[in-house]
Amino acid sequence: MQGQTAIIVGGASGLGLTTAKLMVERGAAKIGLIDRNEQLLASAAETLRSLGAEVAVAVADISRADTAHRGFKETADQLGRIHSLVNSAAIYPRRPILEITDDEWDLENAINVKGTYHMMVAAVLHMRGFVNPPEVTGRIVNVTSVDAFKAHPQNAHYAATKAAVVSLTRSFAHDVAKHGILVNSVAPAGMATERAKALGFLEELAKASPLGRGAEPTEIAEWVLMTGGPKNTYMTGENVIVSGGYIYA
């Protein structure tokens, strides 16, 4: 990541912040964070600045095109050329399959699908301005989930949105390859984030995993950097499952 500049959506906490820290440790000098939580954003920015990074932040509602694009522009205007975008923002409200309301469907789609779409569009419009074929000029990584590939009756609306993001990843990859932009996704199983610990499903996951545990966020962040960093010069349209053997696909 030496000399790279990245924007991370949902970067104020969880996997997003872990990825940002790892990028800085690997040489990224500039990081943009987009999130809806202003307080967590401020704290995350201070953490990254203490590691030596230049940081730009934007509070944004990514479910709307205008505010999502504004958030990207605010960070890009401060940081300059953006080499990588990481979409890690998502909501995860568990609900039995026969009880999901219209409002819950709308919110899941607004953040997990539309939000990811809006941020990818903003990134492509920015990145294609640096076209110099056949050089790879930009990389986009979408964080999906193993839930996109398995039955999940306790969270079917979440799983459906993550399957949609896998599809979006492939469509974008096909369309923007001509601009030298690579688009991939990373699908983790449960991670030991603070939110996951609070929801209480990590013990259940550990029992179902051959490795006997959920992933540490850093273990997933490594794959985000692999697909979203300069070492990736050829892989696009792929989904990398990192589940510790929880599923095989």
User: How many structural domains comprise the chain?
Assistant: 1
The overall average pLDDT reported for the chain is 94
Taking the C-alpha atoms of residue 162 and residue 114, their distance in angstroms, rounded to an integer, is 11
Decide which of 97 and 204 is more confident: 97
Report the pLDDT value the prediction gives residue 230, as an integer from 0 to 100.
Answer: 95
Asked whether residue 112 is domain-assigned, the answer is yes
Residue 197 has pLDDT above 90, yes or no: no
Average pLDDT over residues 10-35: 97
Report the pLDDT value the prediction gives residue 54, as an integer from 0 to 100.
Answer: 98
Which residue among the candidates 158, 234, 246, 248 is catalytic per the annotation?
158
Tokens of 119: 């941020």
Q: What is the tens place of the pLDDT at every residue in 87-110?
A: 999 998 889 999 999 999 999 999
What is the domain-level CATH number for residue 189?
3.40.50.720
Least confident of 49-53, 179-183, 187-191: 187-191
Average pLDDT over residues 204-229: 90
Compute CA distances 114 → 60, 62, 120, 127, 164, whole Å.
14, 8, 10, 20, 10
Among 181, 73, 87, 169, smallest CA distance to 127 is for 181
Range of the domain at 180: 5-242
Tokens of 249: 């696909």
Q: What is the tens place of the pLDDT at every residue in 136-172?
A: 889 999 999 999 999 999 999 999 999 999 999 999 9
Asked whether residue 80 is domain-assigned, the answer is yes
Does the active-site annotation cover 246? no
Helix (H, G, I), strand (E, B) or coil at 241: strand
Asked whether residue 249 is domain-assigned, the answer is no
Report the pLDDT value the prediction gives residue 133, as an integer from 0 to 100.
Answer: 65
C-alpha 158 chain-centroid distance: 15
C-alpha 86 chain-centroid distance: 4
Asked whether residue 248 is domain-assigned, the answer is no
Q: What pTM value is reported for the model?
A: 0.94
Asked whether residue 226 is domain-assigned, the answer is yes
Q: What are phi and psi of 242, to 5 degrees?
A: -125, 85
Asked if residue 79 lies in contact with residue 54, where contact means CB atoms within 8 angstroms, the answer is: yes
Q: What are phi and psi of 198, to 5 degrees?
A: -65, -35
